[in-house]
Amino acid sequence: MRQAMMLAAKNGTVAGTELLAHGAITQEAYYRTLANHLQVSFVEPGDIAMIMNGRDGSLEGVNVRANLIWCQLRDGRTLPVTAPDPRSVETLSVSLASNGLRRSFALTKPETLRTLLTRKYWPLLLETATRKLAYDEPAMSAHAGARFWQGVVSALLVLGVAAAFATRPGIASTALHVAMSTFFFSCVLLRLLAVLTFRAPATAPLKRMDPRTRPDYSVLVCLYKESAVVPDLIASLKTIEWPRSRLQILLVCEDDDVDTIDALARQELPPCFEIVRVPPAQPRTKPKALNYAMMFARGQFITLYDAEDRPHPRQLEEAWQTFLQSDESVGCLQAPLVKANTSRNALTALFHLEYAGLFGGLMPWLARVGSPIMLGGTSNHFRRHALDQVGRWDPFNVTEDADLGMRLWRGGYRTAMISRPTLEDAPHTLGAWLPQRTRWFKGWMQTWIVHTREPARLYRNMHLRAFVITQLLLTGTFVSALLHPLVLVNAVGLSIWLTVQSPDPAYMSLIAWIDWLMIAASYLAFGALCWLATAPEERSKIGWRIVLIPVYWMA
């Protein structure tokens, strides 16, 4: 009790909150004792016949974290049942004594209220998690796919190129090379600008803050068939430095993922850990699970991690202090993701190199020039009101992070970077790496389709520089991957052909030079940015493997 009172004074809470948060007393013992002290009934889940809160047709009035609901008990009484926050116990005690309400009031555990509300309203919660964005902002959701005009323009473009090659192959080839070269060199230019303005990453200093000013922080972790990594995950999350009475860690599982749920049940989870079970329904995606879990989150600030993540213990502290020092337009912070298994093989070394360039080079440059940032899928920190304002995640987009970064920008919010990283392991086999990369490309195409449905509206949402950078980033990622093998094969074939006979027509030699210049510039800009952003101790682990960048790009 003495320790709890000291923590309460330090964190701006009360002793009861600290006792519960640190597991010094169970919810059952605390609320039973409180009921006896207040001279009111304590009810078990089996004592409640039905709950009266909310409406059956909408989520209006439904709050699954409510600490008071009206219930009909099995003995026929209808009365409010509460699980009061320990900070409000004194007020409740005075109110019950002065108004003579003890016989018409009952107490239970917060866990019981949450279970009852979830059991009654799960179809509405699931529908909201799945379709709210598609209902509220259909133009911003990937649910509907491409617009008619996008299909027509794409078809006309393909037919036009085919017709041009059939009728005027020489002119068509030249025009295509000019267009492709302009596009590729524009993509290369972004990385060259990031190289020229590169700033070596440094860990941001932290101030000593009054612990009483710290807000509630909710950490969301989605798990699906992740039973093998559960022990390491829980150990890593336990190292987070944040007051336990202000921390909520939601472990989000599919309800039928029995192995993962059983693995969590075998862990000694502190009280700040909660398991959220998502009812199985299509689409079975991470963004849908995150939306569902958000209805259980109490934090003013939200972050999310993946099952294999090892976040820096003070990452939450840095994010909160950065938000405090920023204006309200900064709605999101991205922590760098660092691959920890660099030396395992060539694939992990090149993945580490690529992520260093992205999170240590390109993203900081985008933040400095005031451009949208396509978020990484983990270690994003949000102001809750910003996340709610833009509709949270899109369950139908397989790269919900990139899409959310765009919607935050279009909603008037900026994304900034913080310095304390999250460690994770890169896939070490091609069989694991390739499906992941395929999904990313599919998602970036989805995101481009969604955000060009209304190009005039998109342009109004951002200045010209941001508009151009966004188009290059969204299209450049997957278009470069699709065309790079073709350009490389064309350059090699054209060079061989030109060595055995004189160029006819003469501009074919120029095309070959342009192709090789484009390929070389792409490799050099990518390699330079990634090498600059890679920590010196990691460069030695990558070593000679950097020359395999062309092979990596072909993959």
DSSP letter for each residue of 210-247:
-GGG---EEEEEEESS-GGGHHHHHHHHTT--S-GGGE
Sheet holding 422-424, edge to edge: 310-311, 422-424, 337-339
| Cis-peptide into 505, omega within 30 deg | yes
Q: Give the residue carrying structure tokens 């809160």.
A: 53
Query: Which three-class secondary structure state does DSSP give residue 13?
Result: coil
Residues facing 80 on adjacent strands? 70
Cα distance from N-terminal residue to C-terminal residue, the chain: 60
Encoded tokens for 200: 């070596």
- Separation between Cα atoms, residue 68 and residue 91, nearest integer Å: 15
pLDDT value of position 54: 55
Asked if residues 309 and 423 have their Cβ atoms less than 8 Å apart, the reply is: yes
**For 491-512, what is each residue's pLDDT tens digit?**
788 788 777 776 666 667 777 7
Encoded tokens for 72: 């009909």
Query: Which positions ≥6 away from 42 have C-beta within 8 Å?
Result: 31, 32, 35, 36, 106, 107, 108
Query: Which three-class secondary structure state does DSSP give residue 81?
Result: strand
- Separation between Cα atoms, residue 485 and residue 483, nearest integer Å: 6
Cβ atoms within 10 A of the Cβ of 16, count?
A: 19
| Cis-peptide into 283, omega within 30 deg | yes
pLDDT value of position 292: 94
Burial profile 263-280: b = 16 or more Cβ within 10 angstroms, e = fewer: bbeeeebebbbbebbbee
**For 249-292, what is each residue's pLDDT tens digit?**
999 999 999 999 999 999 989 999 999 999 988 898 999 999 99
- Separation between Cα atoms, residue 25 and residue 33, nearest integer Å: 11
Q: Give the residue carrying structure tokens 């765009």.
A: 406
pLDDT value of position 413: 93
**Which is nearest to 354 in space by CA: 220, 481, 488?**
481
* 203 φψ region: left (φ > 0), alpha (ψ -120 to 50), beta (else): beta
Query: Which three-class secondary structure state does DSSP give residue 380?
Result: strand
Secondary structure percentages of the chain, helix, strand, coil, to 5: 60, 10, 30
Residues of the chain with pLDDT under 50: none
pLDDT value of position 454: 86
**For 389-435, what is each residue's pLDDT tens digit?**
999 999 999 999 999 999 999 888 999 999 999 999 999 999 999 99
**Which is nearest to 234 in space by CA: 277, 285, 275, 286?**
275
